[in-house]
Structures are given as C-alpha cells and as structure tokens.
Amino acid sequence: MDKSEWEIMAEVAKGELSAFRKIVEQYQKPLLNYIYRYTGDRAASEDIAQEVFLRVFRTAKEYVPLSSFKTWLFKIATNLCLNELRDNKIRRNTVDIFELNEAGFVALASTCFTPEKETEGRELSALLMRALNSLPEKQRVALLLHKYSGFSYGEIGQMMGCSMSAVESLIHRARQSLKKQLTPYL
Amino acid sequence: MKECGEIRERLSAFIDDELPAPERKLIEDHLHKCPACAQEESSLRQIIDLMDGLTDESPSRSFIPAAVHRASAWKRCAYVKGHILIPVLTVLRSVFSVVSWQLQANAGRRRTPVDAYLRSFDDFPPESLSSVYISLIQGEST
C-alpha cells in the first residue's frame, strides 16, 4: 500500500473525518463505476458505494495493510454487491440476448442502431451492460475488477479467494461469452 | 503448448500481459503462423475495445458530503454508546446488584430457614387431623 494512503487510513482509524474525506474523494468514482457495472442499477450503486465508505470508516481499526487499500476497499464492495443481489434488493438488468428469438434480434438491432454514430455507441454500450449483467457472478466480478479497476490476476485471486489460473479462466470465459452475445453488433 | 485449443485458452492472459515471457513468445509465434487463432485474438481485442468505450458514471455532487455526514453521525453514535450509554448501564447494573443483594440479606435476617419450617405448621386448619396431632405433641412435651 502507498505510504501516504496507509497514513491516511491510520488517521481514519482515529475517527478523523478530514482523512476519511480524502479517501472518499479519491475512490468515489472508480468504486461507483465498479458497483454500477456489477449491479446494473445506477440508483442502487450510489447507495451501496455510500455503505462501502461507511464500512471503511467503521472498520478502519481492523484494517491491516497486508494487501493494498484498494484491494481491501473493492473486496468490501464486492461482498456488499453480492449480498444486495442475493437479497434481491436490486432488480438486475438482465435481458439475455440469447433469450431473444431471431425476430427479436432483428427488432432489437433495428431499434438500437441508427445511422448516427453517437446513438449507435450509446446503444452498443447499453447492449454491453446487458451482456455484462448476464454473465455468471464470478466471471463478471473477475472481468470488471480487471478491466475497469485495473487489478492484476493475482490481486483478483486474492480478493476472490482463488488461484491466478482460475481468474484467468473466469476472465477468458467472460470474454468468450461477451463475444458470442455481441459479435452480431460489431 | 502447440495445440490451437491450448493457445486459445491462454489468449486472454496473453492480451492482458499476464504471461511469463517464454510463454508469451510461444503464443506470439503461433499467432504469426495460425490465421484462425489470430482471428480469435483479434475478436477478443474487439470486445476489449468495446468495453473501453463504456463511459464512466459520475457520482452525484452530494456524494462526498453525504458520505462524510454518515460517518460523522456514526461517530457520534459510537461516542454516545461508548462514553455514555455503556458506562451508565454498567453503573445501573452494579447499583441493581447491590440493592438486590441487600434486599435478600434483609429478608434472610427477618426469617431464618428454621422459623420458616416451624411456621409452616401454623397453616393447618383448626380441628384438622394434623392440628390435633400437633396439639398432642405439644401436650406431651409440656
């Protein structure tokens, strides 16, 4: 862990709100985007991110800098997201493209893609979000942590409690699945 | 590691630069020779590029103040709990223990177990067989 971050966390453990504010300022955006891409629910993602930061404040004394602070933070976020999804507090945006029949595909494609590049990009992003949300939990977590949060396979393995080769396999299968779902639109 | 299947299984790790140099070199060489695997690598990179295009969401303007406010509220609660509620409850518990012990001790002084045993004989109704028996015993003793 970065020494300055470790020092900031020591201050947070003493209940220093200014130090806590620095942590929130630094991680609010990456954390929110991770949670949003994980849950697919924009409104809920902000509430979960708030809860994650509150847990950081509450459990700061228990933090041991054996791994990076970011790893610890995202592990808390992953566990919270998983709990929320399991408790069905979040309505997952899971439209499985495989579930659509051929006519559905054509209809979806014709409504989604307009000649305007911007609209096309937006719709493709929406399709990508749906495809991400249709991935199995572990594949989605591994892929999101690697792609958008910049964690290495080793760090993800540490967070998820599995080996590097298992992480590699999860990420590869996730990409294969996205490829299957999105190739018709590329 | 020469089979296409094995190469393809490792393509994600190859793209993510997570492989040791010798293995990386093997895959690079294979991709130069095998158009099918090269096509597979290219399509995986397309997906990665697509994911790069996903725009970031920005937290609401009230996010930081709200987070600090929640932490501050929790800190106040923890302070009240740790510095007021728990000490007060501890004192109340001690006072209650002392008072209840005192009451038991006073009750013990008023009525000893022997007294209680003897008084139980007073509870027999008059003219009952037991009371006649008691009076006989008392008569014998006097």
Quote the mean pLDDT of chain B. Answer: 85
Which candidate from B18, B51, B74 shows the least CB-CB separation from A147?
Answer: B51
Q: Which of A7-11, A166-170, B92-96 has the highest mean pLDDT?
A: A166-170
Contact A168 B58 (CB under 8 A): no
Residue B140 has pLDDT above 80, yes or no: no
Q: Do A167 and A157 contact (CB within 8 A), yes or no? A: yes
* A93 vs B: CB within 8 A: no
Residues across chain A: 186
Contact A37 B54 (CB under 8 A): yes
Contact B13 A172 (CB under 8 A): yes
Among A11, A52, A57, pick the best mutation site for testing chain B contact (most B Cβ within 10 A): A57
Residue A140 has pLDDT above 80, yes or no: yes
Q: CA nearest A138: which of A121, A120, A157, A117?
A: A157
pLDDT at residue A97, as a whole number: 36
* A15 vs B: CB within 8 A: yes
Q: Do A149 and A74 contact (CB within 8 A), yes or no? A: yes
From residue B42, how far is each of A108, A179, B45, B46, B67 by CA, in Å? 26, 11, 5, 6, 43
Percent of chain B with pLDDT over 70: 85
d(CA A31, CA A51): 11
Residue B141 has pLDDT above 70, yes or no: no
- A chain contacts of residue B46, beta-carbon cutoff 8 Å: 179, 186
d(CA B118, CA A10): 70
Give the tokens for residue B55.
């725009």
What single DSSP character describes residue A155?
Answer: H
Which candidate from A17, A49, A182 shows the least CB-CB separation from B68?
Answer: A17
d(CA A77, CA B114): 69
- A chain contacts of residue B66, beta-carbon cutoff 8 Å: 50
* A183 vs B: CB within 8 A: yes
Q: Do A164 and A153 contact (CB within 8 A), yes or no? A: yes
pLDDT at residue B18, as a whole number: 95
pLDDT at residue A66, as a whole number: 81
Give the tokens for residue A175.
């990409």
pLDDT at residue A150, as a whole number: 92
- What residue of B is the nearest CA neighbor of A182? B47
Q: CA nearest B58: which of A128, A46, A48, A120?
A: A46
> Could you read off the pLDDT of A67-103 as tens digits, one per residue?
889 999 999 999 999 998 888 766 554 433 333 333 3
Q: Which of A35-44, A104-113, B122-131 has the highest mean pLDDT?
A: A35-44
Helix pair angle (A117-133, A102-112), 10° resolution: 140
pLDDT at residue A138, as a whole number: 94
pLDDT at residue A4, as a whole number: 78
Per-residue H/E/C for B34-81: CHHHHHHHHHHHHHHHHHHCCCCCCCCCCHHHHHHHHHHHHHHHHHHH
pLDDT at residue B53, as a whole number: 85
Q: CA nearest A11: which of A75, A48, A57, A47?
A: A57
Residues B104-127, mean pLDDT to the nearest whole number: 69
Residue A14, CB-side half-sphere exposure with 13 Å CA sphere: 8
> Could you read off the pLDDT of B109-120 as tens digits, one per residue?
666 666 666 666
Torsion of CA A11, B57, A151, A77, to 10 degrees: 60
From residue B15, how far is each of A37, B19, B20, B42, B121 by CA, in Å? 22, 9, 12, 10, 97
Reported confidence tier of residue B88, pLDDT bands at 50, 70, 90: confident
Residue B127 has pLDDT above 60, yes or no: yes
- What residue type is A110 in one-letter code? S
Give the tokens for residue A7.
């020092």
> Could you read off the pLDDT of A18-72 as tens digits, one per residue?
999 999 999 999 999 999 999 988 889 999 999 999 999 999 998 888 888 999 9
Which candidate from A25, A45, A54 shows the least CB-CB separation from B64?
Answer: A25
Q: Do A175 and A143 contact (CB within 8 A), yes or no? A: yes
